[in-house]
A and B are shown apart, each in its own frame.
Chain A
């Protein structure tokens, strides 16, 4: 190494060490609640709330997981959650990308007002829309069907907003040029905008998926029977009027999270690739 580079190399090393120190300690805080949940799911019932709290179970009770699957139709719940979340996510991406493009690159009368109205719907507390939505779903004859669980969530203002921001950072020349070439808006969207906005697209996908996966109240309200219910309802099973079986509740919660973590790990690769795709040296 050239002597001139040495101090720079050292500085970089120190910075990296500092980064690791900060990130690692931050990680402990971020991850500790999970660790606690995981550990609790392996404890016995009385162990689960002891003083002093045990940081590791005396003997890992893997049987807790089996009990969870026995107590509630967890497998079915997981399938429901997965199916619903996948459809909702795909539909959200489609509807929101189109709408985001309209807001970002198409001039039409009332554009600002329309965007404002869309944004306003994010500000309505859920409790307020619960009952009117329920009434609508009932009138449509969707009570206790997958349609009720899926359709209302196939468009997301959050997604539209995020994608709009992302689309707006793409140089307008690209859009102009594509229009002059005779491209339709959809074609531009498909070939130019979406690939360039991949990280945001993935973010939207993850957020939609999670939003669907984690919803509890709506599925409870619009369904009657266990066959349709998602995994969150299964989690509520271990809390009774008289008390909570913490070790089983934690095990159920862990089971409900694992598919997501797996999915994220898979999507993470695309995330990294997406980020690397833009900004390469020419």
Chain B
């Protein structure tokens, strides 16, 4: 016979062995702590690395201490895109988990599909949150999980939240005559220009503002300059009004003056750390990466984004929440019990200390372990102080599209392809169509 038979014989045995091994290893979710009679709750999350370890510790504690006999199984399901894909697939033909992390836009879709459980009854029920709890949790975090288009119901619960802040290189600002980070927009424009330095030898130099085209940052900027995003009836957008156009024109003139630039993805962390960019507006969650990039080379701080009216500061939130899916009352109650437990002071503090997310409760600020952690992470405290000024972004269905249009408008303005008014007008037109199609 041919030589190929020998080859097949040689590898065939190996193949057979592998198949037997594969067949033998079935997919049992053996899982820790699943004794007889315990209710298993499935929790889909997106955490990796250090955060995943912290979350695993929290889950372990809950499983060991809860009085309902519930075992939570926390499973990594990819990033937010992946988890949304999985949930979509599960909605249409599979088994939904009990809890999953979700952005507000996703939750709105889940509600439309009727698969998510409104939480008001549970919050106000026998195992609910006390008045004290509700006062302790930052109102903005809860507000962002209320959906006006669904009767203002609470459809999800805050989990991995953070806030839009401004990162500033204090030493560079001081050298240019600014003793603290700019508080108002006019100070901001001046500061960015003042710190900009060209490099005579043709190098990259120093520029005032590092831009990242992120819709939440844009939303925050519009709000803080006194602009509006949406009409009260949520049918039309308002971001092509003068206060918002002013922000974009300001950015454009900074770019023209060589005082602002766009970076690729997370490069702004490196740029800031290398001192090539002095100001940056983004999520508080990234401060650890910023800290590593700065590596103690200069003093830096987190503060609120520039404001039109410093007496009424405003900013927006970032981050995802927890959604509980409908199943049966027993599972729903168990899922809620876990969510509620996560929101208790000890857990909130633990989660905030181990991850770089914000604690959702105010009283955490007085806990010794939190203060201790903030000694090593003063910027974390600075970000925490900004939360009280945060308001939710729109979470109406269709807003996800609008975010893309806003980001593209900023890119158009920065690249000089369009004027601020022109770009925002075009974005507004597309946005109104998107909102109309989802009404």
- Interface residues, chain A, with chain B CB atoms under 8 Å away: 45-46, 49, 51, 71, 82-84, 86-87, 90, 130-131, 134-136, 138-139, 143-146, 191, 194-195, 198, 217, 220-221, 223-228, 233, 236-245, 270
Contact = CB atoms under 8 A, between A and B. Distances in A.
Interface of B: 2, 4, 7, 15, 18-19, 21-23, 25-27, 29, 42, 46-49, 51, 75-80, 82, 85-86, 88-89, 92-95, 160, 266-267, 269-270, 274, 283, 285-286, 288-289, 292-293, 295, 356
A82 B19 CA distance: 11
Nearest to B51: A240
A227 B26 CA distance: 9
5 contacts: A146-B23, A195-B2, A240-B51, A242-B356, A243-B269
Contacts of A244: 266
Given A46-B293, A135-B94, A242-B356, 18 more contacts: A46-B295, A51-B270, A83-B18, A83-B19, A87-B15, A87-B19, A131-B89, A131-B92, A131-B93, A135-B93, A220-B86, A227-B25, A233-B78, A236-B79, A237-B49, A241-B46, A242-B286, A270-B7
Contacts of A223: 27
Contacts of B79: 236, 239, 241
Nearest to B2: A195
Nearest to B160: A241
A245 B269 CA distance: 12
A237 B85 contact: no
B29 A224 contact: yes
Contacts of B25: 146, 227
Contacts of A245: 49
Given A71-B49, A238-B48, A86 B27 contact: no
A46 B289 CA distance: 10
A83 B18 CA distance: 6
A105 to B, nearest CB: 19
Nearest to A89: B15
A161 to B, nearest CB: 22
Contacts of B86: 220-221
Given A87-B22, A225-B75, A236-B79, A146 B92 contact: no
Contacts, number: 112
A12 to B, nearest CB: 33
A242 B289 contact: yes
A131 B88 contact: yes
Given A131-B88, A221-B86, A138 B288 contact: no
A224 B77 CA distance: 7
Contacts of B292: 45-46
- Among all A-B residue pairs, the 3 with the closest Cβ atoms: A135-B93, A243-B289, A134-B89
A220 B77 contact: yes
Contacts of A220: 77-78, 82, 86
B274 A51 contact: yes
Contacts of A87: 15, 18-19, 22
A17 B29 CA distance: 60
A198 B4 contact: yes
Give the one of A71, A145, A191, A225 with max B CB within 10 A: A225
Contacts of A135: 89, 92-94
A195 B4 contact: yes
Contacts of A46: 292-293, 295
A36 to B, nearest CB: 16
Given A224-B75, A228-B27, A239-B79, A83 B48 contact: no
A221 B93 CA distance: 12
A194 B285 CA distance: 58
A138 B18 contact: no
A138 B78 CA distance: 20
A83 B49 contact: no
B305 to A, nearest CB: 19
B29 A144 contact: yes
